[in-house]
């Protein structure tokens, strides 16, 4: 198979592999910096990081248009960046600075950038699925061929809103793609202890839509299944449920060291880290040298640090802005 047609990293790598790698490194370094900002007490509230899950964010969002709207969870820094939100505005939001995507008033769990179709991050588990269904309904009613995408955790599949959303989207053939980011845990509980079926994607059957299981640490594979689901939605054939299997390399939130994980589990998943997997494939398929993939990381890191400097130089929002953007 030619590299441009690759559907998994075993087949080959796409022509824009270097850009995919760069974006995944940006997200990884962004999250590492957020972790360090928290430890320096520069961020209020909690935060939920996505190291290890970058291939889901990038593979899902890469080929979307800005007019396609994406919703995600509190673990959504990577998804919002992958959808095109700027690094400095995203840091600024988390730091509560004026430069922030929402003027610094939303924080880590509410990153939103309507200009790129990042319709909102949500702290309530499952709450954004109906929002994506509503966004898809508005595209359908207005005759636009835009799609909506909801990215959510494995834990959300046991929430009522998940079932209501899939049902309504299927009945009305709405242009929406539901993506389960199965990172194996909901907070401190392994998914098997809360869910009686091993493959969450089987729930698609109950709602009469295709269900696709994909290796969520293979950015090429995620992108390929997403491509099919988006094309189906744009053709007016309705929703798809995708389950991307991945792993949360850090704890649930900043206060969680993840001590409940069985011995060897993290180490196993680190061997499947999506970023070196793409870099190794680029080298083994001969589209990049070791030096080039290493330069990509260095330059992504430099951009992340420069964006952080801009965010730190931005002031906190003026008191006069407290009730601006408040509806009632
Ligand atoms: C409706 C609701 N119930 C409980 C919580 C508390 N809570 C926050 S995160 C979380 C775990 C969700 O796990 P999952 O959906 O797998 O997402 P992940 O954190 O693994 O990305 C829970 C139960 C919440 N935020 N909202
Ligand atoms: Mg989870």
Characterize the bridge pairing of strands 185-186 and 189-190: antiparallel
Identify the residue whose C-alpha is closest to ligand 1 atom 12. Answer: 186
Q: Pick the ligand that lies closest to the CA of residue 156.
A: 1
- In the predicted structure, residue 2 carries a pLDDT above the cut 70: no
Instruction: Give the C-alpha separation, 253 to 234, whole Å.
Output: 36
Give the residues across from 180 on adjacent strands: 152, 243
**With bands split at pLDDT 50, 70 and 90, how would you rate the model's confidence at 4?**
low
- In the predicted structure, residue 84 carries a pLDDT above the cut 90: yes
State pLDDT tens for residues 26-41.
999 999 999 999 999 9
Residue 184 counted as domain residue: yes
pLDDT value at residue 1: 35
Atom nearest to 159 CA in ligand 1: 1
Instruction: Give the C-alpha separation, 55 to 273, whole Å.
Output: 9
- In the predicted structure, residue 3 carries a pLDDT above the cut 70: no
Rounded distance from Cα 77 to ligand 1 centre (Å): 16
Mean of per-residue pLDDT scores for the chain: 96
Identify the residue whose C-alpha is closest to ligand 1 atom 13. Answer: 186
To 10 degrees, what angle do helices 87-95 and 17-39 make? 20
Atom nearest to 187 CA in ligand 1: 11
pLDDT value at residue 285: 97
* Nearest residue to 75 via CA among 180, 224, 218, 158: 180
Give the residues across from 150 on adjacent strands: 71, 178
Residue 20 counted as domain residue: no
Identify the residue whose C-alpha is closest to ligand 1 atom 17. Answer: 153
pLDDT value at residue 155: 97
Q: What ranges make up the beta strands (E) of 183-239?
A: 185-186, 189-190, 211-215
State pLDDT tens for residues 108-126.
999 999 999 999 999 999 9
Q: Are 200 and 244 a contacting pair, CB within 8 Å?
A: no
Residue 37 counted as domain residue: no
**Class of residue 240 by CB neighbours under 10 A (exposed 0-12, middle 13-18, buried 19+):** buried
Length of the chain: 328
Range of the domain at 177: 46-83+115-288
State pLDDT tens for residues 43-61.
988 899 999 999 999 999 9
Residue 313 counted as domain residue: no
Atom nearest to 191 CA in ligand 1: 16
Quote the radius of gyration of the chain (alpha carbons, Å): 19
- Average pLDDT of the residues in 23-27: 98
**For 327, which DSSP code?**
-
Find tokens 């998943």 and name the residue: 269
As for how many domains the chain has, the answer is 1
Rounded distance from Cα 110 to ligand 1 centre (Å): 15
State pLDDT tens for residues 268-302.
999 999 999 999 999 999 999 999 999 999 999 99
Find tokens 């899902």 and name the residue: 60
CATH code at 265? 3.40.50.970
Identify the residue whose C-alpha is closest to ligand 1 atom 18. Answer: 153
Alpha helix ranges (H) inside the chain: 17-39, 54-61, 77-82, 87-95, 128-142, 160-171, 219-234, 265-270, 274-284, 290-313
Pocket test for ligand 1, best of 186, 189, 191, 194 (most atoms within 8 A of CB): 186
Provide the percentage of residues in the chain whose pLDDT is more than 90.
95
182 SS3 class: strand
Tell if the pTM clears 0.75, that is, is over it: yes
Which of 4-13, 68-77, 78-87, 229-238 has the weakest average pLDDT? 4-13
Residue 215 counted as domain residue: yes
């Amino acid at each position: 198979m030619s590299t441009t047609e690759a559907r998994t990293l075993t087949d080959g790598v796409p022509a824009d592999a270097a850009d995919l790698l760069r974006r995944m490194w940006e997200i990884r370094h962004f999250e590492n910096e957020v972790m360090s900002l928290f430890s320096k007490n520069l961020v209020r509230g909690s935060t939920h990081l996505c190291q290890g899950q970058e291939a889901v964010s990038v593979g899902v969002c890469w080929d979307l248009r800005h007019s396609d709207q994406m919703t995600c969870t509190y673990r959504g820094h990577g998804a919002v960046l992958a959808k095109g939100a700027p690094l400095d505005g995203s840091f600024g939001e988390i730091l509560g600075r004026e430069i922030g995507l929402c003027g610094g008033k939303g924080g880590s769990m509410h990153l939103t950038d309507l200009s790129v179709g990042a319709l909102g991050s949500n702290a309530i588990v499952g709450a954004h699925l109906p929002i994506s269904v509503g966004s898809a309904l508005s595209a359908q009613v207005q005759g636009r061929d835009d799609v909506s995408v909801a990215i959510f955790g494995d834990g959300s599949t046991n929430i009522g809103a998940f079932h209501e959303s899939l049902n309504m989207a299927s009945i009305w053939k709405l242009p929406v793609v539901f993506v389960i980011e199965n990172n194996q845990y909901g907070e401190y509980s392994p998914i098997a202890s809360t869910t009686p079926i091993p493959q969450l994607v089987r729930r698609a059957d109950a709602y009469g839509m295709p269900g696709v299981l994909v290796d969520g640490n293979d950015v090429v594979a995620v992108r390929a299944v997403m491509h099919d689901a988006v094309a189906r939605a744009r053709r007016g054939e309705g929703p798809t449920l995708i389950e991307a299997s991945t792993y949360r390399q850090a704890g649930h939130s900043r206060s969680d060291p993840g001590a409940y994980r069985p011995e060897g589990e993290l180490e196993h998943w680190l061997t499947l880290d999506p970023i070196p997997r793409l870099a190794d494939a680029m080298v083994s398929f001969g589209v990049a040298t070791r030096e080039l993939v290493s330069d990509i990381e260095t330059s992504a890191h430099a951009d992340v640090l420069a964006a952080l400097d801009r965010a730190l130089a931005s002031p906190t929002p003026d008191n006069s802005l407290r009730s601006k953007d408040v509806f009632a």
